[in-house]
Structure 1
Amino acid sequence: MTAPLILIEPYAHRPGGHHQHALVALARARPDSWVIAPHGITRETTTALRKAKARVITAPTGAVAAVLMVGSRVMSAFSAVGLRAFRSGRWPRAVRRLPHQVTLLARCLTEAAALRTACVRAPNADAVVILTASEALHGLAALLGGQPHLRFVHEISTTEDLPLRLVGRLVRRAEPRAIALYPTAAVAAQAANRFPRLAGQVRTYAIDDGTERISPAERACGRTAFAIPDDEPAVCLVGGWWPHKDLATLDVALGKLRRPLHLLVAGHPLNEPTLDRWRQLPYVRLHLTRGPVGEQFLRLVYAAADAALVVRRPGVAKESGLVMDSARYGIPLLVSDHDPALTAALQDQPWARTFTAGDPTSLAEALSTTTSTPLPRPGPDASRLLGMWPATDQADLLTRTYARLLPKEPRC
């Protein structure tokens, strides 16, 4: 018999993203698990979790958790005001970074409130996991939360400045109450330099149960939905245009095309002037869907595409949910060589074509080659190649890892 998990997802209120997929998959693997979504949860995810027999909590339980959540909301409000007030480059860098430091504190208080809620609602769960954890203040979250836990740290995007580093040092004895899980070795190395006392291990975040591959019938539906003829090539560009994505290189590369190409763009935020330029390009057929999209529509986008396109800046080495989607859904992949480890894993894979990161000519050649010579679809072994495991194996790993904390720290 397996006991339920406590799955904490601070971003369950945001539609789209592979965190929603992992949350639901783990809940299915462990029926009767508790899902704590401190900022709310999307309707689509709520429906899926109900089918998985998960118990969903969206409000803090207990006085301490309620106070911590109020503190988080106050800090978030201050951060939003600061981001607007200090976004001009005329302010010193330390001042412009201040709102991001407040955001780190707000995220820490949210995590602590969720951990306190877990203590009250399910004190005997097999594992307590924050699926999308902050990259900072690990010890403070464990101390205020009063709960040993695992925390998936997906990237190091904002580092602690001096005031938060001092806070971290004051509570660093609480860091052994948590174990960090990093999706790539590169993220683990970054974190180890900043938090040498925090135990951690590398574990791919994305999950694949081998049941989500897009069928030929879905492909036909996708092509029909976007009015793309079967004999015309199409690639998809999914997700928001965040700073780690190299849209400037893609912008130039599309202008170099000499063959027609359907480009399916779905996500938020997007850059409207860039989209306007693409509409005017003679060989680009743009199909645009604004805003975060749910998983069912996302499948439709992937189904219509001959390949998924991942364009990142050199040196970005966090896990790519889009690369994992490509393997899960069985979609060929065009990907920049921004991450040496990922490039090595994809070497000699017939379903993946790499191009030089930051090089528009290399990207244009990859796109042109795809229009003339389509890539084969990845086989069922593609997910394991990228380190993905079934949800049951992931849940078992979380349980075993969490057990390492229990002899040291009492629950709650």
Structure 2
Amino acid sequence: MRVASGSLVLIEPYAYRLDGRHQRTLLGLARVRPGTLGIAPNGIARQTAKGLREVRAHLVTGAPGHRAGVLLRVAGVLARLSWAGQRVFRCGRWPHQVVVLARCLVEAAALRSARRLVPDAQAAVILSASEALHGAAASMGGMPHLRFVHAAGTAEGRCVRLQGRLARRAERRVAALCATEAVREQIASRFPGVAALMRVAMVDDGRCLTEGEREGGRLDFSFPPAAAVVCLVEGWCPHKDIAVIDQALALVTKPLHVIVTGHPLEEQILGRWQARPNLAVHIEPGPLSEPVLRLVYAAADATLLAWHPGTAGVAGPVLDAARYGVPLTLSGHDLHLTARLRSEPWVRLFTAGDPHALATALEDLVRQPLPPPGQQAPQQLDMPTAKEQAAFLTRAAARFTTRGPEC
């Protein structure tokens, strides 16, 4: 593969997913920077690969080179070990610590591939980075880089902390681009050597839902015109407070339709929801393609996001709500995000971890649907255009990843 000197390198560990968000940013940036090298260490969805070819970007899947290949294979072993641990020790913390280590190795493998293919890259950027082991990824990958950190809140175990201390010097070759001010504060406190600043990863492509799509979404799900519909998208990641949603839905007394999408899902909890007489649950399992995800959002009166109290970050569904033009029911888990959205008429906030507050918010939605966000909503959440994002990444790489000793 012949990649032009000084190309932009974009690394997306989750490019294999079909949920659209990870691919959207990758494709958007590649479109405005011809010759971009996209690295998908864990594989890539077919439509995303096709989109990269159409915009004349280069694509690498896996990890070319012996050292990068070894890192990726070890990461695979750790990922399978974590999966098995989660099945056996549902309440244990160590399986997630193994995931953190595995993600670090995946990032390192991708960075080592980037160093081999474009040693003088204009900027190397991990679009969906881990919230820990920033220096370790740079040290093992042998390349300075920018990394988008979408959330923070995971407690680090002893092994993760030790690995981080061993790579402390390499942190000065990394800049963390944080989704909210609360994430930036946590990263700056836990990793003082890392340059931390606020920057949203997702780009605004200006493709808000149309009235025709909204009508089509309701018809496709056969919802009555006056039915209240809320969607819960993208499965149940560790940050999501599914327990509080479960408890809140048990308290809701008014008829409510709930669309549940993504992976993983807990069948036992879904069974409880389906058995409740006032709930109509519609399940779309597995990752959804962009067209199907748009259909789900179009059918909903609001999207619901509940994260554990104290978790910092802005989840994809929040940005999706602003970008698609969908009202939002949101937990107050991130104080900075809450302060920013408190006065927005299209957002209904509830106290994080409080099922009664969520139940009240859902019943309010049934009585009085929220208005959709206006065209300025993406800008209110600091979502840049793809052209603005690419220019920023180039400037940031020149400023923040040339400091300190070599990795």
TM over 0.5: yes
| Cα distance change of structure 1 residues 62 and 245 upon mapping to structure 2, 3 Å threshold | closer
The CA distance in 1 between the partners of 2:391 and 2:359, in whole Å, is: 43
Q: Which amino acid aligns with 1:169?
A: R
8 Å contact from structure 1 (residues 76, 102) kept in 2: yes
Q: Secondary structure at the match of 2:343?
A: coil
Q: Does residue 351 of structure 2 align to residue 356 of structure 1?
A: yes
CA distance in 1, matches of 2:159, 2:106: 19
Question: In structure 2, what is the equivalent of residue 26 of structure 1?
Answer: 29
Q: How does 1:48-197 map to 2 (within 5 A)?
A: 48-80=51-83, 87=89, 97=94, 99-197=95-193
Measure how far apart 1:400 and its partner are.
0.4
Aligned residues: 403
C-alpha change, 1:348 and 1:408, in structure 2 (3 Å) is closer
Change (3 A) 1:128 1:376: same
Q: Secondary structure at the match of 1:335?
A: strand
Aligned equivalent of 1:283, options 269, 278, 284: 278
Cα contact 1:61–1:121 (8 A) shared by 2: no
Q: How far has the Cα of 1:411 moved from its partner? A: 9.6
Letter in 2 for 1:312: W
Q: Deviations over 1:36-88 (max 9, x none)?
A: 01110112322332233221100323333233333433444554555566x27
Match of 2:257 in 1: 262
Q: What residue in structure 2 maps to residue 43 of structure 1?
A: 46
Q: Please name the residue that 2:237 is paired with.
A: 242
Q: Is the 8 A contact 1:41 1:58 kept in 2?
A: yes
Q: 2:153, 2:312 within 8 Å by CA — same for their partners in 1?
A: no
- The TM-score, its normalising length taken from structure 1, stands at 0.89
Counterpart residue identity of residue 396, structure 1:
A
Q: Displacement of 1:240 after TM fit?
A: 1.2
Q: Deviations over 1:213-257 (max 9, x none)?
A: 000111121111101122322121112123432333333333333
Q: CA deviation at 1:365?
A: 2.5
1:339-383 Cα distance to aligned partner (Å, 9 max, x none)? 222221112211112223333333233222222322211111111
Indicate conservation of the 8 Å contact 2:173/2:402, yes or no: no
Match of 1:201 in 2: 197
Task: Report the equivalent of 1:340.
Answer: 335
Alpha carbons of 1:378 and 1:124: their partners in 2 closer, same or farther (altered >3 Å)? same
Q: Distance in 1 between matches of 2:390 and 2:322?
A: 21
For 1:305 and 1:88, locate their aligned partners in 2 and report how far apart those are by CA, in whole Å: 32
Q: CA deviation at 1:321?
A: 0.9
Tell me which amino acid in the other structure corresponds to 2:41: P
**Identity of matched residues, %:** 50
Cα offset, 1:157, TM superposition? 5.0
Q: Is the 8 A contact 2:195 2:400 kept in 1?
A: no
Report Cα offsets for 1:243-290 as digits up to 9, x if no partner.
432333333333333432221111222222222222222222221111
Which is worse superposed, 148-157 or 36-45? Answer: 148-157
- TM-score between both structures, scaled by the size of structure 2: 0.90
Which sections of structure 2, spanning at least 5 residues, go unmatched? none
Contact 1:148 1:409 in 2 (8 A): no
Gaps of 5+ in 1: none
Alignment-mate amino acid for residue 152 of structure 1: F
C-alpha spacing 1:165/1:355, structure 2 compared with 1 (3 Å): closer
Which of 9, 19, 26 is matched with 1:6 structurally? Answer: 9
1:390 counterpart residue number? 385
C-alpha separation in 2, matches of 1:350 and 1:394: 28
How far apart, CA to CA, are the structure 1 residues paired with 2:84 and 2:278?
A: 43
Superposed CA deviations along residues 1-26 of structure 1, whole A, max 9, x for unmatched, are x9642001112122316323222222
Whether contact under 8 Å (1:44, 1:294) holds in the other structure is no
Kindly state the Cα deviation for residue 393 of structure 1 after the two structures are TM-superposed.
0.9
Q: 1:74 to 1:241 in 2, by over 3 A?
A: closer
The answer as to whether partners of 2:152 and 2:312 remain within 8 angstroms in 1 is no
CA RMSD of aligned residues (A): 2.6
The Cα shift of 1:175 comes to 1.8
SS at match of 2:151: coil
Change (3 A) 1:5 1:410: farther
Residue type of the alignment partner of 1:202: M
